[in-house]
A and B are shown apart, each in its own frame.
Chain A
């Protein structure tokens, strides 16, 4: 279960690519794990390393020394498209990323991220372009993410408001997960099932 999501301030990791798919975030060969440990090392593996294990030259953005410890990723449209693998947000969180600012996330990725304490912050294309410009001008610019108030504080007292699903927001702020909520619906589920016979039986015929 994730920790309660609190406000934080961080410099940013710029990744100005569109349609970053989950095969890039965690290549499939790292999906043979049976737990969640060690996935930070798999993050963007094939964009970071050559076949012989050496770092790519020029280095992928995550491997630039000044990127260490940064917790906000800024990415192009449709981040996290493709495979449903939850290993993608697991790996981002293991690396230390807590928020992804983009113009849209793929639906399954967005749901997976929110369940793991990773906040997708969806902004319009003009604001995203401004943010990329800001980071280009000042690579060490610091942003503050305030989920409670649903704003990203930019330098110069500028605020960037964002929308978030109210239920997901509550879960994030409490550091709780949806399982408890669903288990709390047991009476409703029992009643529904009593009125709706099973559609299929999967046991061998």
Chain B
């Protein structure tokens, strides 16, 4: 106390009017602010934002054409970083008094332990709200991206913030069970493993919804919202029940009446199990029926718009794709003769359930599609899938659609096994060049695809087994053509259209007509 003079102790101005409820509120405010400033939470927030920036910088986050009913659930995984911070921060806050020896004093103060626990249980609320704002900002960012389609689900968006809240209260529950610092990270590790194992163990789908978030659908093609099935409402109830269990455990360990505590833990635990079991992983019958109709007879669920001579039909959530399809189709038709460009075409969106990027093995129901097109008065429609974007998957899908539309123009036939086989030699060169030069994005997509395919190109029809197969020789011609101005090549294409589109015209002849040469031998086993 050197150099410090002590003031006389004045009388406290305090009235003697205990207000434990107000104290809970005051303690909640202090703990909430401290949690928001906790290094673990700040680290989680920084990592979340850094990941967002990284995804944006690398293109992993859709710059263009996001599907909002998919993007809503993709927001959940990054939020686990903040949830981990909430768990650690709140756990350390609760055990602070024990770890620092302050409990010898604070345990003897007026505010009952259960009220302190209650304040700590409420402390993650502002962080959960902040997480909700971040999720909202992310989805708004995506919604503002060019070509955004669909509607995000509020329930999916709410899942991440609820997980943050759950993690915060779980930190309190664990803290009430043990004040050992090492337990927190171990619990986080366990939850992370459980969530990830549940998410990736597709052979045991029962597990996937028992974790914090279910993320296995990321590689599936986007679906219209009414055809999706994610038991997200049940999952929210399950998460809320888990949070209730944590609250009950934390309060039961806070010197409340033992019977009340045990009863509360028992009831909430039963609720959590029931809610967990209620997350049915089987697609309900009505959704499955709607999917079948949407796959085989989509016209009744679609709206159409005609732009010029082309009619586009899409599922309701994907009507925003009309302009993008129109731009691409316009790009293909730009380098075709006027009589072909003025023909009437139809583009119809198709779904193939079960098709994934890793297993292109689904045969398209061409007969059903043909019949449906006939009923709808749109025969010969060119299918387009729901994938679309500037990333690898979306780019491949764009290029495939451009190829199949170009094949429709070149062959004059709708996509069938036979028409696909007829796209070879000169036709293959022409189709691929028309597809690649349709837009800058399809050009980039082809350039991105080639290093992955060893020189040949396969353009599947909506992820099905029906595909245009273009050999190395034809691809090499297209590559050399892409080095020249498209309009210059386009004039040669239009001038030599008749010969270029004849099935018997060879690749070397096509190259010659377009002012270039074939490089390398034809691939062994190439069709035609």
Q: Please indicate whether A and B come from the same complex rather than being unrelated chains.
A: no
User: Interface on A for B, CB 8 Å cutoff?
Assistant: none
User: Interface on B for A, CB 8 Å cutoff?
Assistant: none
